[in-house]
Amino acid sequence: MCCDDINQENPSCTCMKDIPLRGLLHIIILSLIKDKTTHGGKIYQSLKEKFGLDAPRAVIYALLRKTEGDGLIVSNWDIKGSGPARRMYTITEDGIEYYQDALERLRGLMKIIKVLLEEKT
Residue 52 has pLDDT above 70, yes or no: yes
Report the predicted TM-score, pTM, of the whole model to 2 decimal places.
0.77
> In whole angstroms, what is the distance from residue 23 CA to residue 62 CA?
14
Residue 30 has pLDDT above 50, yes or no: yes
* Strand ranges (E), the chain: 38-39, 73-78, 86-91
Strand pairing of 73-78 and 38-39? unpaired
What is the pLDDT averaged over residues 7-11?
51
pLDDT top residue among 111 and 91: 91
pLDDT top residue among 80 and 47: 47
Q: Which strands sit side by side in the sheet containing 73-78, from one edge to the other?
A: 38-39, 86-91, 73-78
Domains of the chain (ranges plus CATH)? 23-118 (1.10.10.10)
Residue type, 53: L
Residue 120 has pLDDT above 90, yes or no: no
